[in-house]
Amino acid sequence: MITTLLAAADPVTFQWSPKCAVVMILCNVLAYGIARANIEKPNEGFPMPNSQFYGGLSHGSFVAANCLGHVLGIGSILGLAARGVL
């Protein structure tokens, strides 16, 4: 009985589309800019291979920027989907 109640409470979700991917990519690019501007020592630590492609960010800074980008991205995607844009 509890599983049918939980299944009935499942909200309608949106379908993935290329628009979602574009929003996530833009949020990650924004996060790289935020990381580059706000991390005190962005190139300290284990270097990324071909670091010129990553804006000179070290491995830790790159992972941190991606984490921030995905948090911004999922918030943006859910917000835009709730508004009916996606």
Residue ranges in the chain assigned as alpha helix (H): 2-8, 18-38, 59-83
Across the chain, mean pLDDT equals 80
pTM of the model: 0.74
C-alpha angle with apex 27: 55 to 41, nearest 5 degrees? 35
In this predicted model, what pLDDT tens digit does every residue of 26-84 receive, in sequence order? Answer: 999 999 888 888 878 777 777 777 766 667 777 888 888 899 999 999 999 988 888 88
Residue with tokens 């993935």: 16
CB atoms within 10 A of CB 56: 14
Tokens found for residue 63: 């992972």
Which pLDDT belongs to residue 48? Answer: 73
Q: Which amino acid is at 39?
A: I
In this predicted model, what pLDDT tens digit does every residue of 22-31 receive, in sequence order? Answer: 999 999 999 9
> Could you state, in order of their start, the residue ranges of all structural domains in the chain?
14-83
